């Protein structure tokens, strides 16, 4: 592992976990499952009140100016409690894109609003996951966007989006206000992610990068979001591992606690190993931000965290037996979130290919 947490980082991790555990309620999360386009407003208000919405935005724009490590620590706490909105990840992605872009207008208009939580961001760069030839679904011309971006996380609630588009066969990365943009909502496995199609119809947009720079920046933002998601997955995986451990130490069968049986204790031990690997890889990736091997580290973190969360959510349900599949326990919420996060920011096969491309030099 590249780093050990400093004292102030440990304080952020402990305090964010304490606050979220006291304020995120299971009944609200269960309610959100059946509603399209809604999110946990109390959770998001807590994020804003604590200043976490601007944790990685520079102080000159009203943020805290901290690193990807601190963002990840808050994301890990969000994952442990099943945060009822995806805006920490998407907001950081939009802020990073605008900061690295060339548009002073976009910086002035959006960064302070994102830092305060007054604006919610969404990132629509799915084509950055695809190999060449470049065929984005949205075109840019005469200062406007036309076309549809499908299944954008946070799309139903976002105020601004970073969009990868096509301008005469060349990629451009643009920032667009979503006022008046049509949004097509649909039921998903995890409705609290606010997933929606964004339908642009001559929507004004500001270009922040073009040509090869647009693709480089889009992949960088995708990798940064993947690291934040890896922390969120690690938090969920750890919560499932601890819940399985606690249940195994209290539930009795055949005259002893079920944790005494090898079939149960070995499962929990395997969960522990996966969680620690995911934690180490996520911290390593966050600490390598801005370094030549960042994209590679992000891919590794993403893959290991996905395996950890998928496995721990499944095995925790198995350890609980029949009660684990009931509505009231909420374990199914972690199963839903594990499956949803496994495809946000690109699925497993994409990140496997991405990792190979970084190792072979096809992506730098």
Domain boundary among 58, 83, 116: 116
Are 186 and 86 in a shared domain?
no
Largest CA distance in the chain: 75
**CATH code at position 239:** 1.20.140.10
Q: How far is CA 289 from CA 109, 218, 330, 349, in A?
A: 25, 15, 35, 23
Are 106 and 139 in a shared domain?
no
Domain boundary among 52, 84, 116: 116
- CB 137 within 8 Å of CB 149: yes
Q: What are phi and psi of 250, to 5 degrees?
A: -120, -35
Domain containing 219 equals 215-360
Does residue 186 form part of some domain? Answer: yes
Does residue 12 form part of some domain? Answer: yes
Q: What distance in Å separates the CA atoms of residue 286 and residue 113, rounded to the nearest whole number?
A: 24
**CATH code at position 178:** 2.40.110.10
Are 232 and 306 in a shared domain?
yes
Q: How many domains does the chain have?
A: 3
Are 190 and 279 in a shared domain?
no
**CATH code at position 70:** 1.10.540.10
Are 206 and 221 in a shared domain?
no
pLDDT at 312 (0 to 100): 98
pLDDT at 34 (0 to 100): 85
Question: pLDDT tens track of the chain, all 364 residues?
Answer: 456 899 999 999 999 999 999 999 999 999 998 899 899 999 999 999 999 999 999 999 999 999 999 999 999 999 999 999 999 999 999 999 999 999 999 999 999 999 999 999 999 998 765 544 556 789 999 999 999 999 999 999 999 999 999 998 899 999 999 999 999 998 888 999 999 999 999 999 999 999 999 999 999 999 999 999 999 999 999 999 999 999 999 998 888 998 889 889 999 999 999 999 999 999 999 999 999 999 999 999 999 999 999 999 999 999 999 888 888 888 999 999 999 999 998 899 999 999 999 999 887 7
Element (DSSP H or E) covering residue 167: strand 160-167
Are 83 and 149 in a shared domain?
no
Q: What distance in Å separates the CA atoms of residue 337 and residue 191, rounded to the nearest whole number?
A: 10
Are 253 and 315 in a shared domain?
yes
Q: What are phi and psi of 288, to 5 degrees?
A: -95, 10
Are 183 and 287 in a shared domain?
no
pLDDT at 140 (0 to 100): 95
- CB 70 within 8 Å of CB 131: no
Are 229 and 328 in a shared domain?
yes
**DSSP code string of 5-19:** --HHHHHHHHHHHHH
pLDDT at 133 (0 to 100): 53
What Rg, from alpha-carbon coordinates, does the chain have? 20
pLDDT in tens, 143-159: 999 999 999 999 999 99
Alpha helices in the chain (DSSP H): 7-23, 26-32, 41-49, 68-80, 87-100, 104-116, 212-248, 262-287, 294-320, 331-341, 348-360
Does residue 191 form part of some domain? Answer: yes
Distance from the Cα of residue 252 to its chain's centroid: 37
Does residue 319 form part of some domain? Answer: yes
Are 186 and 256 in a shared domain?
no
Write the CB contacts of 94 (distance below 8 Å, at least 6 apart in sequence): 110, 114, 121, 122, 123, 160, 161, 162, 175
Write the CB contacts of 137 (distance below 8 Å, at least 6 apart in sequence): 127, 147, 148, 149, 150
pLDDT at 329 (0 to 100): 87
Nearest to 153 by CA among 201, 199, 110, 91: 91
Nearest to 225 by CA among 135, 349, 351: 351
Are 43 and 172 in a shared domain?
no
Taking the CA atoms of residue 194, residue 197, residue 199 and residue 205 in that order, the dihedral angle to the nearest 10 degrees is 60
Does residue 1 form part of some domain? Answer: no
Domain boundary among 95, 116, 137: 116
Does residue 2 form part of some domain? Answer: no
Are 58 and 100 in a shared domain?
yes
**DSSP code string of 64-80:** ----HHHHHHHHHHHHH
Does residue 169 form part of some domain? Answer: yes
**DSSP code string of 21-63:** HHH--HHHHHHHTTSTT---HHHHHHHHHTTGGGTTS-GGGTS
pLDDT at 130 (0 to 100): 56
Does residue 59 form part of some domain? Answer: yes
């Amino acid at each position: 592992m590249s780093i050990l947490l400093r004292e102030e980082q440990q304080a952020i991790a402990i305090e964010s976990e304490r606050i979220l555990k006291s304020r995120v309620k299971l009944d609200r999360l269960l309610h959100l499952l059946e509603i399209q386009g809604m999110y946990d407003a109390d959770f998001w208000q807590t994020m804003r009140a604590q200043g976490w919405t601007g944790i990685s935005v520079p102080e000159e724009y009203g943020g805290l100016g901290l690193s990807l490590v601190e963002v990840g620590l808050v994301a890990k706490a969000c994952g442990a409690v099943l945060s009822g909105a995806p805006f920490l990840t998407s907001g950081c992605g939009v802020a990073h894109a605008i900061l690295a872009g060339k548009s002073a207008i976009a910086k002035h208009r959006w960064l302070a609003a994102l830092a305060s939580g007054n604006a919610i961001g969404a990132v629509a760069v799915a084509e950055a996951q695809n190999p060449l030839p470049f065929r984005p679904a949205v075109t840019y011309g005469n200062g406007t966007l036309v076309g549809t971006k499908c299944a954008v996380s946070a799309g139903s609630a976002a105020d601004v989006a970073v969009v990868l588009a096509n301008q005469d066969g060349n990629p451009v990365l643009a920032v667009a206000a979503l006022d008046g943009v049509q949004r097509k909502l649909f039921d998903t496995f995890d409705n609290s992610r606010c997933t929606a199609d964004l339908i642009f119809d001559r929507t004004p947009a500001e270009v922040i990068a073009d040509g090869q720079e647009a693709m480089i920046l889009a992949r960088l933002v995708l990798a940064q979001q993947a690291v934040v998601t890896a922390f969120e997955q690690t938090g969920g995986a750890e919560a499932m591992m601890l819940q399985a451990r606690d249940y195994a130490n209290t539930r009795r069968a055949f005259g002893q606690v079920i944790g005494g049986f090898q079939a149960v204790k070995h499962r929990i031990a395997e969960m522990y190993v996966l969680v620690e690997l995911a934690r180490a890889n996520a911290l390593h990736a966050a600490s390598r931000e801005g370094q030549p091997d960042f994209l590679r580290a992000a891919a590794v973190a993403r893959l290991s965290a996905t395996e950890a969360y998928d496995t721990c959510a499944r095995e925790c349900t198995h350890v609980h037996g029949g009660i684990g599949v009931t509505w009231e326990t909420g374990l199914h919420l972690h199963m839903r979130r594990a499956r949803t996060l496994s495809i946000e920011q690109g699925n497993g096969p994409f990140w496997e290919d991405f990792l190979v491309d970084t190792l072979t030099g096809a992506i730098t």
